[in-house]
Amino acid sequence: MRSVFTVLALFAFLASIARAQGTPPADPSAVAPNIHITSCKVLSGPTLIPQANEIGLAVRFKNETQDTFSKILWRAKYGDGYVDFYDAGTFSPNVRIDNFILFDLGKAHVNILGALLAPRGASTPIDSQFHFPEYASLPYPQNCTIVKTETTDGKIWKNASLPQAHYLLPSPFPSAAATLAPGETQPKGPVDVAHCHVLFPWTRDTAQFDIGFRSIAPGKMASSVTFDVLDGAGILQVTDAGEFQDGMYVRHGKLKAPIPEGLQGISYFSFDDPSKCVPVRVSYTDGTTWNNPSAPSPAPAPTKMTNVLDRGLSLWAVRWQNGLALPAPSPSPQ
């Protein structure tokens, strides 16, 4: 409930910012600036970013125009949504730039449940902070789009194909404490997935999977379950072997599979999203098997990424700068 109020109030707040900003008009005939992006990585979570209410952008780019830019508004993918980051500085022609920018949602000062139950017009102020989950995207250049630029001599370009308001639209991720839905009457299939999380440690050549599931096969015991894991770069396959009784919930956090050659040396820390782990094959102790007729189509091997800004990103190795700070809205009864 709190997150719903937060998102709705945030949209209203951001819309008011967009209306209030008094910037010079953009030239509709201006050509998009030739800014070459080679790496775009988005991170969140207290072990990757200074504060739990912040989202970070690590971007590597080169200004390949003759102009010097003073401001760039980046739009970066965040799960299935996006976040905007203001990048202010001096971006000279033909200089490679590595920048680390923060989006800060700020703090809310209201107890939503208390506000809903309190008498009309009253609220219970507390210091509650919005927390983003642990997440580190792959550093694909296409993760970043430029919304707006401004040169040192005042020329402004806006991307007419994108809305100009500052939105935060993270993908819907489950709680870390999520469990299988109680009292299910209609099984989802031979395997019911509750957790799916993928980790690429940049110092290793194996991916680690945290998958929680249960086998649904009355009177049968599964001996292995194979998953196709949609990792943001394609499909990885991992098998969990053991003895899985019908209805028994299993969560194994250290399943491993080789990282594709094109992604070795790259870090990745996915959201916990059960829809990304698709069971494709189940073997049973009686010798029978089940094969998923709707298994994802094989994906091509990912292209090897070069010149990326990824290795060694940590709280201690990066000097983050504030890019866009918004106070979290504080909804209260009307």
Domain with 279, as residue range(s), is 191-291
Residue with tokens 């050509």: 31
- Residue 306 CB contacts under 8 Å (≥ 6 apart), including other chains: none
Same domain, 49 and 90: yes
Residue 110 has a pLDDT of: 36
Same domain, 68 and 213: no
CATH of the domain at 227: 2.60.40
The CA-atom distances, in angstroms, between 255 and each of 28, 196, 205, 226 are 52, 11, 14, 11
Note whether 124 and 133 are within 8 A (CB): no
Same domain, 241 and 142: no
Q: Is residue 67 part of a domain?
A: yes
Residue 253 has a pLDDT of: 82
Q: Is residue 298 part of a domain?
A: no
Gap between the Cα atoms of 150 and 203, Å rounded: 38
Same domain, 282 and 315: no
Cα 70 from chain centroid? 28
Q: Is residue 88 part of a domain?
A: yes
Q: Is residue 303 part of a domain?
A: no
Split the chain (334 residues) into runs of 10 and give each run's mean pLDDT.
41 39 53 91 84 86 94 88 87 92 60 36 42 86 92 92 65 43 52 88 81 89 91 80 89 85 80 88 93 77 70 62 52 32
Q: Where are the strands (E) in 93-248, listed by range?
A: 96-104, 107-108, 128-129, 135-136, 144-151, 156-158, 191-200, 206-215, 221-230, 235-245
Same domain, 134 and 256: no
Q: Is residue 26 part of a domain?
A: no
Residue 261 has a pLDDT of: 76
Gap between the Cα atoms of 130 and 53, Å rounded: 5
Residue 51 has a pLDDT of: 79
Same domain, 42 and 156: yes
Q: The whole model's pTM is what?
A: 0.73
Same domain, 52 and 160: yes
Q: Which residues share a beta bridge with 172? A: none
Same domain, 157 and 286: no
Looking at the 3D structure of the chain, how many domains does it have?
A: 2
Same domain, 235 and 206: yes
Same domain, 65 and 111: yes
Note whether 211 and 240 are within 8 A (CB): yes
Q: Is residue 300 part of a domain?
A: no
Q: Is residue 186 part of a domain?
A: no
Same domain, 201 and 62: no
Burial 299-333 (b: 16+ CB within 10 A, else e): eeebeebeebbbeebeeeebebeebbebebbbbbe
Rounded to a whole number, what is the distance in angstroms from the first to the last CA of the chain?
Answer: 17
Note whether 166 and 17 are within 8 A (CB): yes
Gap between the Cα atoms of 9 and 129, Å rounded: 15
Same domain, 13 and 155: yes
Q: Among 217, 200, 216, 196, which residue's Cα sits nearest to residue 208?
A: 200
Structure letter (DSSP) for residue 133: P
Q: Is residue 135 part of a domain?
A: yes
